Amino acid sequence: QKEVEQNSGPLSVPEGAIASLNCTYSDRGSQSFFWYRQYSGKSPELIMFIYSNGDKEDGRFTAQLNKASQYVSLLIRDSQPSDSATYLCAVKLRGSSNTGKLIFGQGTTLQVKP
Amino acid sequence: DGGITQSPKYLFRKEGQNVTLSCEQNLNHDAMYWYRQDPGQGLRLIYYSQIVNDFQKGDIAEGYSVSREKKESFPLTVTSAQKNPTAFYLCASSRMRLAGNQETQYFGPGTRLLVL
């Protein structure tokens, strides 16, 4: 079992819809969770991080964390064609607080169609 | 402007050649990281460094070497021992929070390495 798993997609949604991206992780003691967006040929850029169970909202983006079920999700409301990218989930495992070491999923490709 | 710079943007390596990728940051971040990304895959950690003159192997360190002589700089050398070096190489950095916890990692623009 991979430590961090994402459906590679592509996930296709129409413009204006809600895109839901999911990520599961294997280490129950994982502490911190990050979502990065990566456009083709570019480096990842941070969208959000979440540490506590529940929802965290930032503009059109909402991160949801459920530690009991070991999943973290990213919702994108009012999806725009400019949101088309690969979304990487990253998890800081238990015991990695001092090193900052992250484990990345393989990413989910999102396509927003006009 | 504060940020992370990587050079060159593209790098070509011949068989048996060692090549060095540059990573510099002026964010005053303590920790720096090197990742490798292959097409359609996530990032895999090569090496990381939390302080000057100290670094640790990541998950795929074989065939790579690093140094951390200055806080701002963390160059990566891809040696001839790395048999499949073609990939997108990403450097990242993060700041040490209080109590030793590392904060979020921010990435440089990347170097694409190709083998001739």
Q: For A5-56, how does the pLDDT look when each residue is reduced to its tens digit (9 = 90+)?
A: 999 889 999 999 999 999 999 988 888 999 999 999 999 999 999 988 999 9
Alpha-carbon distances, residue A94 vs A14, A31, A67, A73, B116 (angstroms): 38, 6, 13, 19, 41
Residue B101: pLDDT band (50, 70, 90) is low
Query: CB-CB: which of B41, B48, B103 is closest to A101?
Result: B48
Q: Please state the rounded mean pLDDT for residues B90-107.
A: 79
Nearest-neighbour CA in chain B from A53: distance (Å): 18
What was the pLDDT predicted at B8? 96
* Mean predicted lDDT score pLDDT of chain A: 92
What was the pLDDT predicted at B7? 96
Helix residue spans in B1-116 (DSSP H): none
**Distance of alpha carbon A92 from alpha carbon A80, whole angstroms:** 29
Asked if A43 lies within 8 A of B45 by C-beta distance, the reply is no
pLDDT, tens digit, for every residue of B19-48?
999 999 999 999 999 999 998 788 999 999
Asked if A99 lies within 8 A of B102 by C-beta distance, the reply is yes
Q: Which of A3 and A74 is assigned the larger pLDDT?
A: A74
Residue of chain B with shortest Cα separation from A105: B42
Nearest CA to B56 out of B44, B64, B48 is that of B48
Residue of chain B with shortest Cα separation from A107: B42
Instruction: Name the B residues in 93-112 with CB < 8 Å from any A CB.
Output: 94, 100-110
Per residue, what are the HEC states of A61-97? EEEEEECCCCEEEEEECCCCHHHCEEEEEEEECCCCC
Inform me whether the pLDDT recorded for B97 exceeds 80: no
Asked if B42 lies within 8 A of A43 by C-beta distance, the reply is no
Tokens of A71: 């999943």
